[in-house]
Structure 1
Amino acid sequence: MPTLRALLVGIDAYPPPVPPLGGCVNDVLEMEATLRGRVPADALDLLVLTDAAATRAAVVTAIEEHLGAAGPDDVALLCYSGHGSQQAAPPEAWPQEPDRLGETIVLVDSRSPGSWDLADRELAALLRPVTSRAAHLLVVLDCCHSGDGTRDVSRTTRIRLAPSDPRPRPWATFLPGAGPAAYGIGHKPGTGHVLLAACRSSETAKETLLDGRPRGALSAVLGRALRESDGQPTYRDVHRFVAARIRELVPEQHPQLETSDAGDLDRTFLGGTICPRPRQLTLAHSADGWSIDVGAVHGVPEPTGEDTTELAVHALDGATDAVPLATAEVCRVLPDRALVRLVPDLDPARVYRAVVTSIPLPPLRIGVVGEVSAALALDSADQTLITFVDAAAGADVLVRAERDGFEVLRPRLPRPVVGVFTGPDRGPRTITALERVARWLRLSALRNPATQLAPDAVTVQLTGTTGSVSIDGCLEITYAAELAPAFSVALRNTTSVPLWCALVDLTEAYGVFTDAFPAGSVGLGPGEAIQVALTGQLSDELWRAGTTSVTDHLKVITSTLEFDPRTLEQPELATTAGDLAAVRSLSRPRSTLDRPLAGVTTRRLHRSSGEHPVADWRTSDLYVITHRPR
């Protein structure tokens, strides 16, 4: 991994006549904490200059020596949080400065006798050698560089614009390389050099209150982007995120992403020095109330009656194994976010971490064909699992009333789910079979639409006995005479955090098996892998009845915390309507993932008490088709 050489400069304590600020030191200290949390210690070389230490001489030396030491494999980062201003441009620079003013950043001693602001052309001259030596350079300027300082400042918003320096400045006071022909930092940066500026040249950079502390809008939102990112976004992705969030915080501020090479926009942010990790789901307050930052385009389902997506809410940087600060329920799903009800209410100035604890699982729609008799015992069904609808209304499963009993079918499938249930107890046994099918179909479709785990957090590879490897998540294997074919499933944790995985087998006969691992799920450390040897099976009973291929749906469940999938197990439905064994009861929960898993079995559960650690989780689907020729 390349080394990230970072210089962070933040100034609040400006001496008069420059007005002081309140959030610049907060900005760089949070950026320092964020970088230390996301970049390995041996790949980070960090220098922080705040207040009295951030003199013109110190900043110039730090750029030359600290950032200048970056090698061809390193990434350089300069973050400045403080006042921006302007100064009278020398006449020779007027062709480049139509308003005859040059942009500057204001250092702590800039307005002292004999000292000057750091002009944009000086900053460009200092960074030119860094750009030529390092693999990549990012400059973040959270300050004003506009002459328009006339906007009103509200009680909670401050503008980072110092008064212009009226002193005529001779060329002799500029740094070498910043003469009349030099371009400013905002003009023609070199290849591999990206500038993220807080605002347009006609706007001002704002400082506002967040989490009860003054912060620069750009710095706060950029820090959030780094904390929530999985480490693989491009500069274009980060700019899109930052621009959208700043619009929610302050008016009339549009961050700018500048580069001379359009290809730099699609570079990985900070050259990939940010380690991947699961992104956080956040909850924040806006004009229309509390909302989470995922919505319909992410797959968040609309509430189903009183059943809806539920979340536990924690401090943004807090652990999720404690009692949550609040719980939230989704009440309306918008395209890019979802509005929630919060109990109890929280500080609307803060941003919080949210983790899904339950998702709505609509009941299976059962259509009845033929005369319905009281023997079907409709009232005995678990209404959270199945509901009865008109057979022509798009039912998921059909029950055909025969002369002596009931037959269960699924539309568009070639054979019945199970044979005809007959006898005096045919009604209850039919209901039990329907509930089994409902559990199976719910589990088959189970996914977490609000997951922050990357799709490749755990990679999965299917391999057959002949060495054939699944490319699209589907593997076909074939019996060799009477010998059932073997295959293997390999799981690898690609993240930097421990993850737990379960492999659930959903068979065509509506069985659910979780015995791939002795404890149901297995823990994988960062980079760790495990391989499971399995066998494809097509029963003699089905084969003699004419079936020559079956499909096993293998569902991989990945979680940030340990969980127990064995509550999902149920035996297969036989081709004949014999006795139906009971389904395993709910075992002791280990994390909040156990609750949505239990919801596959029934929704007759109490609401989450918040006493269990909160897991983030996702599912992925594999299919193994086993052929047994006649």
Structure 2
Amino acid sequence: MPGRLYALLVGIDAYPAPIPTLSGCVNDVAGMAGLLRERVGDAALDLVVLTDADATRSAVAERCADHLGRAGPEDVALFYYSGHGSQQATPEELWDLEPDHRNETLVCVDSRTEGSWDLVDKELAGLLQAIASSGCHTLVVLDCCHAGDGTRDADDVVRLAPPDPRSRPASTFLGLAPEGASRPGIPAVSATRTGRWTPAGRHVLLAACRPSETAKEVTVQGRQRGALSAALEAAVLGTDGRPSYRDVLRIVTADVSSRVRGQHPQVETAEATELDRPFLGGAIPATPRPLTLSRLPDGWSIDSGAVHGVPAPIGDDTTELAVYPLGGETSGSPLATAAVSRVLPDRSIVTLTPPLDPAFVYRAVVTSIPLKPVLVGVVGDSAGAAALREAADHADEALVDLVEGAEATDADLLVEATAGGFVITRPGVTRPLVPVVDGAGREERTIRALEQVARWLRLSALANPVSRLVVDAVRVEVEAGTATVRAGGTLTIAYAGSDPPRFTVRLANTTARPLWAALIDLTETYGIFTDAFPAGSVALGPGESTAVELVGQVADGQWQAGTVSLRDQLMVVTSTIEFDPRSLEQEELDVSRMPSGPAATNRGGDPAGPGSNLERALSSTRTRRLGPRAGTAAVADWRTDSVFVVTNRPR
């Protein structure tokens, strides 16, 4: 990670006559400033903004020298210009530096006034070479005409700053006077007679277009913007913050090409290896990349597919999404809703309601994901198997699908029908999951037991395949004595004589936004407990943490029956909004106490429906009869992480 980001942003709309005024340059600078403040943060950012009357030639040159010049070897310097580009005749003394005898220039607000000039490409290169000489990484973004062959234009209106007709002496060039003299505060830079002025060192130049093209303006959410600036902002917002320069060029070029014609952004550097560096040298920390929705030749699609864990539709049940502006909040009513119709390896095709403008990229948030029923293979006595199928047909929840024959080889669970009752196992495991289910009403009690196991299995595997919450958004640590494990790990604890072991679960919000977390205990005997926090979930502000003291237990009855070790899955559910998981609770599985009558209907909680997309996802682990999604449900981003605790109670 670099040290600090020193940024100089210049945007000019209010040019004095006869230079045509522009409309989107100040908007470009405001957008970039907001992006840097949000993604880099004030603690690591030194920002100077010059707009309109403040963006004089002397101010731009001096801020390049004294502000960007502060960047050290571990820092990053950014020069960002949005305005007119133009051309100017090259003084005869410098013809060997410019084969066509025409300089490319940036037009400052006072460039055409008496005693002032455009900022020539060679002057800018000299300033940047002095900045890069410290060893810092330097990025230059020019949202103007690249070679001065034109300037920003919009629609049919050509916004062209005419070439400066004045004859300009070489002595007015910053740092390029033939005698080597320089203005106060501006470093002298020796000229390299290469015919092209590209500063050496760790720098990258991102230009709006090719030399023969014009840089254009577009309307984005009702505001005028430079096509390059709008695309660059969307590229940073639409990634995890650390794409390489090659990635940025690809994304920006595709975006610009979809909006305007005859404009192809360009990247230049003195060292090709710089193109493989992260954008801005890595000054933007890795952040969760929003899920995006865009229109491609084969239709609307989200940028996540099978390799990201997006499940294929299961009958009429599929992944559903709410659609919002790319840079906007995901609170309030969405612009549209989408449903996944086909999952490809790298993305998923969706149907969109209502239609949206295909020229833009949007943000999508998952509101519902399909969950498969638990597949149960039935083997053994045919009469018993038939009776079990009949009981399943009359069950109200039907979280399980019973299969026989060849299909049973791929089942999640197996039920063997015997003369003495039903034996429930997992494929490849001979030890029954529960005691043999026998006696009166054993068919209904077996279905009840299977449904309880199914609820446990569905919840234990619940994950958001397209969550944009980073790993360790809420850091999970489980401690016992000197041992500590994090998410994905297993902690082994043991009784001390008859005293059960104690351990601590710590949850810490590592992000800059408030989050809510719940701790769900899934026991090996298919119980689900959510009582770690009185309200089910706990609010954690930025940097806040909480701790829960728990006890590992192997119940006396289990221990006396021969069980000496049990494993608990501690699932932490993290959400961007408040939620209540308490409707998930179920006691340990005990087939002797299972009622033998028809199962009570489980509609997933409150008849009014889940209050958010997360509560809907949690409720869907308990039933296949959840009903349509409420249009007013709040939309959260959420993720799950688990730690496993093995409790040993030796004989």
For normalisation by structure 1, the TM-score amounts to 0.87
**Aligned residue number for residue 355 of structure 1:** 365
Question: Pick from 291, 294, 314: which aligns with 1:304?
Answer: 314
**Aligned residue number for residue 589 of structure 2:** 573
Q: 1:108 to 1:364 in 2, by over 3 A?
A: same
> Does structure 2 conserve the Cα–Cα contact (< 8 Å) formed by 1:495 and 1:526?
yes
User: For residue 356 of structure 1, what is the amino acid of its counterpart?
Assistant: V
Q: 1:211 to 1:403 in 2, by over 3 A?
A: same
Structure 2 counterparts to residues 22-421 of structure 1, below 5 A: 22-41=23-42, 44-68=45-69, 75-89=76-90, 97=98, 101-110=102-111, 115-132=116-133, 136-146=137-147, 169-176=168-175, 177=188, 180-181=191-192, 187-191=198-202, 193-199=203-209, 205-228=215-238, 238=248, 241-243=251-253, 245-246=255-256, 248-250=258-260, 255-260=265-270, 269-270=279-280, 274=284, 278-370=288-380, 371=382, 372-376=385-389, 377-381=391-395, 385-393=399-407, 394-421=410-437
Secondary structure at the residue paired with 2:499? coil
Secondary structure at the residue paired with 1:342? strand
Secondary structure at the residue paired with 2:174? coil
Question: Pick from 437, 446, 453: which aligns with 2:469?
Answer: 453
Q: Deviations over 1:283-338 (max 9, x none)?
A: 33344333323223322112111111111223444443323332221122233332
Whole-angstrom CA distance in 2 between matches of 1:494 and 1:332 = 35
Pairing 1:607–2:621 present? no
Q: 1:212 to 1:285 in 2, by over 3 A?
A: farther
Q: Deviations over 1:404-435 (max 9, x none)?
A: 43222211234212222223311221111111
Q: How many residues align?
A: 626
TM-superposed CA distance for 1:516, in Å, is: 1.9
Secondary structure at the residue paired with 1:601? coil
Whole-angstrom CA distance in 2 between matches of 1:216 and 1:385 = 54
TM-superposed CA distance for 1:25, in Å, is: 2.9
Q: Deviations over 1:157-207 (max 9, x none)?
A: 98887666677654223112366437799624324x443333455765443
Q: 1:128 to 1:346 in 2, by over 3 A?
A: same
Whole-angstrom CA distance in 2 between matches of 1:534 and 1:279 = 35
**Aligned residue number for residue 183 of structure 2:** none
Secondary structure at the residue paired with 1:33? helix
TM-superposed CA distance for 1:18, in Å, is: 5.9
State percent identity of aligned pairs: 58
TM-superposed CA distance for 1:622, in Å, is: 1.7
> Does structure 2 conserve the Cα–Cα contact (< 8 Å) formed by 1:248 and 1:286?
no
Whole-angstrom CA distance in 2 between matches of 1:184 and 1:486 = 74
Give the alignment's Cα RMSD to 1 decimal. Answer: 3.7
Q: 1:361 to 1:48 in 2, by over 3 A?
A: same
Secondary structure at the residue paired with 1:369? strand
Whole-angstrom CA distance in 2 between matches of 1:241 and 1:488 = 46
Structure 2 counterparts to residues 470-485 of structure 1, below 5 A: 473-485=489-501
* Higher mean C-alpha displacement, 620-629 vs 156-165: 156-165
Q: 1:345 to 1:157 in 2, by over 3 A?
A: farther
Q: 1:530 to 1:159 in 2, by over 3 A?
A: farther
Q: 1:414 to 1:189 in 2, by over 3 A?
A: farther
Q: 1:422 to 1:314 in 2, by over 3 A?
A: same
Whole-angstrom CA distance in 2 between matches of 1:75 and 1:568 = 50
* Higher mean C-alpha displacement, 68-77 vs 524-533: 68-77
TM-superposed CA distance for 1:627, in Å, is: 2.6
Q: 1:49 to 1:474 in 2, by over 3 A?
A: same
> Does structure 2 conserve the Cα–Cα contact (< 8 Å) formed by 1:121 and 1:184?
no
TM-superposed CA distance for 1:577, in Å, is: 4.1
Whole-angstrom CA distance in 1 between matches of 2:156 and 2:622 = 52
Whole-angstrom CA distance in 1 between matches of 2:82 and 2:474 = 38
**Aligned residue number for residue 615 of structure 2:** 594
User: For residue 566 of structure 2, what is the amino acid of its counterpart?
Assistant: V
For normalisation by structure 2, the TM-score amounts to 0.84
User: For residue 79 of structure 2, what is the amino acid of its counterpart?
Assistant: L
Pairing 1:509–2:520 present? no
Q: Deviations over 1:529-555 (max 9, x none)?
A: 222222222334443444433322221
Q: Deviations over 1:452-494 (max 9, x none)?
A: 1111212222222343545852222233333322222222111
Secondary structure at the residue paired with 2:406? coil
Secondary structure at the residue paired with 2:593? coil
Question: Runs of 5+ in structure 2 lacking a partner?
Answer: 176-187
Whole-angstrom CA distance in 2 between matches of 1:127 and 1:150 = 22
Q: 1:468 to 1:180 in 2, by over 3 A?
A: closer
* Higher mean C-alpha displacement, 418-427 vs 520-529: 418-427
User: For residue 649 of structure 2, what is the amino acid of its counterpart?
Assistant: R
Q: 1:476 to 1:494 in 2, by over 3 A?
A: same
> Does structure 2 conserve the Cα–Cα contact (< 8 Å) formed by 1:368 and 1:388?
yes
Whole-angstrom CA distance in 2 between matches of 1:61 and 1:475 = 60
